[in-house]
Amino acid sequence: MNKSELIEKIAAGSGLSKEASKKALDATTKAIVEALAANDKVSLVGFGTFSVNERPAREGINLRTKEKIQIPAKKVAKFKAGAELTDALN
């Protein structure tokens, strides 16, 4: 499912127009991104939790040249599915 298909599903399920559904989805994703950028967690009860995980710097290997390289530390987004979502899938 891509973004436009998700917008159609939101519009059908909520009774909103496609334009209003797009604005709602964009506002939701923007709020999640801003919270994660501020190093906050976003918990949607029953759905899951978005959080920030820090990966430490590590040593890797360039597969073409077989040289050792340093991979810098970075922050990555993490999602842990909630109980209701997990149950719906199984």
CATH of the domain at 11: 4.10.520.10
Backbone angle region of 39, left / alpha / beta, with phi > 0 → left and psi within -120 to 50 → alpha: left
- Domain range for 45 is 3-89
Backbone angles phi, psi at 59, to 5 degrees: -100, 135
Summarize pLDDT for 33-65 with one digit per residue, the tens: 999 999 999 999 999 999 999 999 999 999 999
Across the range 19-45, mean pLDDT stands at: 96
Find how far residue 82's CA is from the centre of its chain: 14
pLDDT at 43: 96
Confidence bin at 13 (pLDDT 50/70/90): very high
Domain count, the chain: 1
